[in-house]
Amino acid sequence: MDKRILLTECSDATGLIAKITDACFVHNLNVIRQDQFASAEDGKFFMRSVLEGDFKDSEKIIEEIKKRLPEGAKVSLNDTRRRRLCVLVTREAHCLGELLMKSYSGALNADIVSVIGNHDDLGGLAAKFNVPFTCFENADYTREEQEKLILDAIDKSKPDLVILAKYMRILSPKFIRHFKMGTLVNIHHSFLPAFMGAKPYYQAFTRGVKLIGATAHFVTDNLDEGPIIEQDVIKVNHRYDPETLAKAGHDVEQMVLLRAVNKILDDKVFVHGNKTVVF
């Protein structure tokens, strides 16, 4: 018996769950886990079903489900093979390190196929895990050239997902639009929407907050304003300065990013306007 993830996204209507699960039943597919969500806000319906059975006719199954659903429905039937990740970095090692470690140990269902930096600091770390590292130094190119070279390098590695793992340079809308929504993920070092933009730990220090956090989100044209996937915080106090805030925050960053990437790799994340549905 094989296993697939059925993802459905369409306008809400009465009987959707019945129609989809009946189609599965007809094809002898067992639903071993299912989550669905209908947004009262805009009438969108999202469903994720983990199916067991025989998927030789998967194209036919998809077509049959689509026929039963409102016009414009998106339906896919994903296998659970390891995905390909491309990671963009600057100088900080913790997020890349955590992804490499979890990929290495098997806790992340993905291979890191390429690391691209705008500094060369992390080349040595990538090399330890036999991952190709390419560096396009900020100083060596115009921003436009640099972005073009990075895009080419990304495309060459054929990633399923591209991760900005503390990549500390703002990307142009042109760069961002190169990617299908839902395939470019950033980790921001604050609980957004607080402390958008540069130096969030310094901002946090100045404001005197008692919590610091991190946010994993899909990237859109608007800096730090894309759909949020995962957030977490830790408590801090008056004794922290910007440096110790950053050190403590790094642990939250890497965990929030790891959890977000795991959710995406499990096909548990839908983009819903400027939000996400995370099952």
Instruction: Give the residue numbers marked as catalytic.
Output: 224
Can residue 211 be called a binding residue for a second copy (CB under 8 A)?
yes
In the shown chain, the binding pattern of residues 3 to 22 toward a second copy, with x for contact by CB under 8 A and - for none, equals: -----------xx-xxx-xx
Q: In degrees to the nearest 10, what's the CA dihedral of 179, 182, 185, 186? A: 100
**Between residues 120 and 140, which has the closer beta carbon with respect to a second copy?**
120
Closer by beta carbon to a second copy, 60 or else 210 = 210
- Cα–Cα dist 14/7, whole Å: 18
Query: Taking the complex as a whole, how short is the minimal distance between the CB of residue 229 and a second copy, in angstroms?
Result: 8
Q: Minimum distance from CB of 75 to a second copy (Å)?
A: 16
Binding flags for a second copy, 58-87, as an x/- string (CB under 8 A) = ------------------------------
CA-to-CA distance for 155 and 179, rounded, in angstroms? 10
**Structural element, H or E, at residue 243:** helix 242-265
Asked if 168 is part of the footprint of a second copy (rule: CB under 8 A), the reply reads no
1 binds a second copy (CB under 8 A): no
Residue 251 Cβ, how far from a second copy at the closest point, in Å?
Answer: 6
Which residues, 6+ apart, have CB-to-CB distance to 124 below 8 Å?
A: none
**105 touching a second copy, by CB under 8 A:** yes
The single residue among 5, 7, 11, 37 that binds a second copy, judged by CB under 8 A, is: 37
Q: Which helix (H) or strand (E) holds 4?
A: strand 2-11
Q: What is the 3-state secondary structure (H, E, C) of 72-115?
A: CCEEEEECCCCEEEEEEECCCCHHHHHHHHHHHHCCCCEEEEEE
201 touches a second copy by CB under 8 A = no
| Helix, strand, or coil (residue 194) | coil
User: Where does residue 207 rank: exposed (0-12), middle (13-18), buried (19+ CB within 10 A)?
Assistant: exposed
Contact pick of 9, 147, 224, 230 for a second copy (by CB under 8 A): 230
Q: Rounded to whole angstroms, how far apart are CA atoms 253 and 259?
A: 10
- Applying CB under 8 A, what is the total number of residues that bind a second copy? 70
Identify the DSSP state of 28: T
With contact defined as beta carbons under 8 Å apart, do 160 and 85 qualify? yes
Q: Which two tokens stand for residue 252?
A: 């939250």
Q: Which stretch binds a second copy (CB under 8 A): 76-84, 89-97, 149-157, 164-172?
A: 89-97
What token pair was written down for 272? 């819903």
Which of 5, 7, 11, 31: binder of a second copy (CB under 8 A)?
A: 31
Contact status: 166 vs a second copy (CB under 8 A):
no
Q: Which is nearer to a second copy, 85 or 246 (CB)?
A: 246
Pairing state between β 211-218 and 184-188: antiparallel
Helix 94-105 to helix 242-265 angle (10° resolution) is 40
Which residues are near a second copy by CB under 8 A?
Answer: 14-15, 17-19, 21-22, 24-25, 28, 30-41, 92-94, 97-98, 101-102, 104-105, 107, 125, 128-129, 191-195, 207-211, 213, 227-233, 235, 237-239, 241, 247, 250-251, 255, 258-259, 272, 274-278
